[in-house]
Amino acid sequence: MRDKRLASWGSLLVAGAAVLAFLTTCDEVPLTAPAESVLFISANPTAIPAINGVSTITVTGFKGPDDGGGTLPDGTQIFLTTNVGVIEERVEMVNGVARGFLRGDGRAGLATVDARSGSGITATLATPVLIGNAQGINILVTANPATVRPPDFTSNIVATVFDNDNNPLPNVPLVFSTSAGDLASQSSILRTNQLGQASDRLTLENEQSAIVTVTSGAISDTTTVTRGTVNNPIVSSVFPSSGQRGETLNVTITGLNFLPGASVSFEQGIAVNSVNFISSTQLVVNITIDQNARIETQGRTVTVTNPDGSSGSLTDAFLIITPGAAPSPRILGVNPPNGSQNTASLDVTITGTDFQDTPSVGFGPGITVNSVTFNSSTNLTVDIEIDALAALGFRDVTVINPDGGSDTFDDGFQVVP
């Protein structure tokens, strides 16, 4: 009988241990809000920087009337999610309040934060948290060139990220995407450098245009790149338009549709030492005239050939001359002595001595001579155009007579803002 009682007690002990193990296991199940509970959620602050920004997310919870009301018990699990930035996935109620932290991760946008606990017990921020643009995140996208041409049909796309005080923002993640063509990044994540810039390269093989979009979260900017047609270069003027045997000099060629890498020809007897691409409208060419070059009454044809094979010429553009006995011109004054960038037309009067009819006049890089009016041997009127990107500062003014005689007025003209 005693053995049976011992066996019975043993069975009870085993059963008790099983119940205790079950209860212990139940304690390990996360505690969530019961049905009919209510959650309230708020954020402070409601606007944070995209980098190193932090907002405190506060959740309060109350039990339903059937559960006696009051705050949710300590340990109740609250699950948080967001669409922008990063946030703690799970926090616990303490005295009816749970707090988590929403942090900026470099992306900008409106962060919608949701809280949930239990089946169907949810709350959403009434006003999303503004990440970025609070203390500022802006994106400016540029394409260089905006119109691509042969031989490679490529454009460099640069995104600059800055705050509202125009300070560059480094280490911001960006995604480049395009409506056509191919991007070198293949839309992988790029990050801005210390200058707040990230760059990508677009190639348009057959497509006529593409819209490139750069995105950081909900903030983005776009630029459009088009595929240009092949335009033949046009040579409109050559300055100086003459030179002597054995002379080495710089010649400025003005026109349209010049491309980097263009080559220039002055015909036989004139060697081209270098071609400096200034812009699509101007080249500076260094030439050497052979000691035995032909001297003719008609000028040489000057030809510009772009890397894509297109070319353009100006006949009677450059004359090889023998200096005559006539005295060289002398410049005594230039009026006005200065002009502003981006001036389409400005009349400048050059006074001096021994000017000849149809002289050539030059004002240096960035200044185009539209026309020269010979008023007398002591007076010329020159209509000039000053490029918007012309370098500020002084220029030498040069007058060359048709017989090759010339004079240069040092620092005779100044480009001002």
Tell me: pLDDT of 414 over 50.
Answer: yes
d(CA 319, CA 167): 54
pTM beyond 0.75: no
Q: Give the class (CATH, top level) of 138-227.
A: mainly beta
Class of domain 330-416: mainly beta
305 half-sphere exposure, CB direction, 13 A CA radius: 7
The hierarchical CATH code for the domain 38-131 is 2.60.40.10
Q: Which pLDDT belongs to residue 241?
A: 82
Name the residue ranges covered by the structural domains of the chain.
38-131, 138-227, 234-321, 330-416
- Weakest-pLDDT range from 294-298, 352-356, 399-403: 294-298
The pLDDT value given to residue 304: 96
Q: Which fold has domain 234-321?
A: Immunoglobulin-like (2.60.40)
Q: What's the pLDDT at 293?
A: 84
Task: Read off the pLDDT band of 30 (50, 70, 90).
Answer: low
* Tokens found for residue 411: 């620092």
In angstroms, what CA-CA distances link 41 with 72, 81, 127, 163? 14, 12, 10, 29
Q: How confident is the model at residue 6 (pLDDT cuts 50, 70, 90)?
A: very low
Q: Are 168 and 196 in contact (CB under 8 A)?
A: yes
pLDDT tens digits along 295-325: 777 788 999 999 878 899 999 888 887 765 4
Q: pLDDT confidence of 27, banded at 50, 70, 90?
A: very low
Q: Do domains 38-131 and 330-416 have the same CATH topology?
A: yes
Residue 133, pLDDT score:
60
| pLDDT-above-90 percentage for the chain | 55
Pairwise CA distance, residues 56 & 113, whole Å: 11
Q: With CA atoms as reference, report the closest residue to 212 among 183, 240, 235.
A: 183
Residue 303, token pair as written in the block: 């030809």
State pLDDT tens for residues 97-121: 999 999 988 777 788 999 999 888 9
User: In the sheet where 86-87 sits, what is the strand order?
Assistant: 38-44, 51-62, 97-105, 86-87
